[in-house]
Amino acid sequence: METADESAPTAPPGTARRTHGFTESVIRGMTRLARKHGAVNLAQGFPDFPAPDLIKREGQRAIADGINQYAITWGSDRLREAIAEHQDEHYGLDVDPDREITVACGATEAMASTFLALVNPGDEVVILEPFYENYGPDAELCGAEPVFVPLAEDRTIDLERLERAFGDQTRAVVLNTPNNPTGRVFDRREMEGVAELCRRHDAYVFTDEIYEHIWYEGEHRSMASLPGMRDRTVTVSGASKTFSITGWRIGWIVAPPEATDAIRKVHDFLTVGAPAPLQEGVAAGLEELGADYYERLEADYRRRREILHEALTAAGFRCSRPEGAYYVLADFSGVSDLPDDEFARWLTREVGVAPVPGSSFFSDPERGRDLVRFAFCKTEETLEKAAGRLASL
């Protein structure tokens, strides 16, 4: 049988135990399958439209001007200044670029460095599910125990259940808002509930805010801006989604000074630093793109959301409009009886539209058997093409 990527964890001899508990990325496996079959790739969340000219020009200028050697390990002065300015402007947070910001190779490295720097073997890390696939492996790579807490049926945070998951061993909770894959933008009550538990149990929040500028309903709040949370929040974000440059690998971490010191050490020995000329491009984006840019980004995504949501509903999927981020998690039980992974491969091969199997977002794969995730970070033309193909269902 054809597989996107062989998904059962394996323990080949001669490999380290820390790699045995998780599989390769299912999301990136689906991208390879989409390529093989010439399917419209609505699996991996990367835009197929251009980045802002200003950012591309500034990256090119930096290369031409000879910015070709390592930047400062924790990020160029210019980019860290621009990130600090951004945190102040959007969240009213006064962040010290010299002591509280680290630039990393994408939010993925940012989150991994955070885990490795702040979590001990044996600690527990609470992860809400469905979850973005990185957090479990991040926990396992540092020998920690992921503790999964399902969202309620209506995809709100079940604060009582969350409370039961916290204990003496809890080191951190991972919060991703706007959320991948559910599209939730967690509201004030949910955020404050999480914050209260972290204060009570002296735990960190590792907050993944990579979709901070992509939301349609409610309001995105930065966890660090909640009362009493600045000193126990590690904020991970980056340029990939905001500026449509997922391949540039520029992410960042905003954390209190002592946490930052540890994170910088891990980051230094993992990657030394993020690409120097590309940091210049991103700095220019943060400095010069203002409210117009962010409003346009949101309006464009709102239209794309409508196209995909309409196409999926018309084809018989059950799904709601996401409040934020750029994914629709859809129930396909009205369309097919196949399990999610087979359905995702069938849809890619036979219909020419690639989604991500729902089971990859759950600790117990059975909970995702009727679900697939579609990304709508694509041109309207690409989405219309996918809609045309889905109509054949």
Q: Would you give the distance in Å from CA 248 to the centre of its chain?
A: 15
Query: Could you say which DSSP state residue 257 is in?
Result: H
| Residue whose CB is less far from ligand GLN, 256 or 358 | 358
State the nearest-atom distance from the C-beta of 378 to ligand GLN, in Å: 12
| Residue whose CB is less far from ligand GLN, 132 or 362 | 132
Give backbone dihedrals phi and psi of 381, rounded to 5 degrees, phi first: -60, -45
H/E run at residue 331: strand 327-331
What single-letter amino acid sits at 366? E
State the nearest-atom distance from the C-beta of 97 to ligand GLN, in Å: 26
State the nearest-atom distance from the C-beta of 28 to ligand GLN, in Å: 5
| Residue whose CB is less far from ligand GLN, 131 or 204 | 131
Distances (CA, A) of 390 to 126, 308, 351, 372, 379: 37, 10, 7, 14, 17
State the nearest-atom distance from the C-beta of 240 to ligand GLN, in Å: 8
State the nearest-atom distance from the C-beta of 189 to ligand GLN, in Å: 26
Rounded distance between C-alpha atoms, residue 391 and residue 383, angstroms: 12
**DSSP of 13-66:** TTS-GGGTT--S-HHHHHHHHHHHHT-EE-SS---SSPPPHHHHHHHHHHHHTT
**Cβ-closest position to ligand GLN:** 45
State the nearest-atom distance from the C-beta of 337 to ligand GLN, in Å: 26
249 touches 105 (CB < 8 A): yes
| Residue whose CB is less far from ligand GLN, 44 or 87 | 44
Rounded distance between C-alpha atoms, residue 63 and residue 340, angstroms: 45
Strands 101-104 and 251-254 turn out to be antiparallel
State the nearest-atom distance from the C-beta of 333 to ligand GLN, in Å: 23
The residues that touch ligand GLN, with contacts defined as CB under 6 A, are: 27-28, 44-45, 108, 132, 180
| Residue whose CB is less far from ligand GLN, 162 or 278 | 278
State the nearest-atom distance from the C-beta of 27 to ligand GLN, in Å: 5
| Residue whose CB is less far from ligand GLN, 247 or 388 | 247
Rounded distance between C-alpha atoms, residue 131 and residue 56, angstroms: 32
Rounded distance between C-alpha atoms, residue 299 and residue 303, angstroms: 7
**DSSP of 109-173:** HHHHHHHHHH--TT-EEEEEES--TTHHHHHHHTT-EEEEEEPPTTSS--HHHHHHH--TTEEEE
For 379, the token pair is 């041109």
| Residue whose CB is less far from ligand GLN, 180 or 233 | 180
| Residue whose CB is less far from ligand GLN, 44 or 244 | 44
State the nearest-atom distance from the C-beta of 383 to ligand GLN, in Å: 16
| Residue whose CB is less far from ligand GLN, 45 or 256 | 45
End-to-end CA distance of the chain: 23
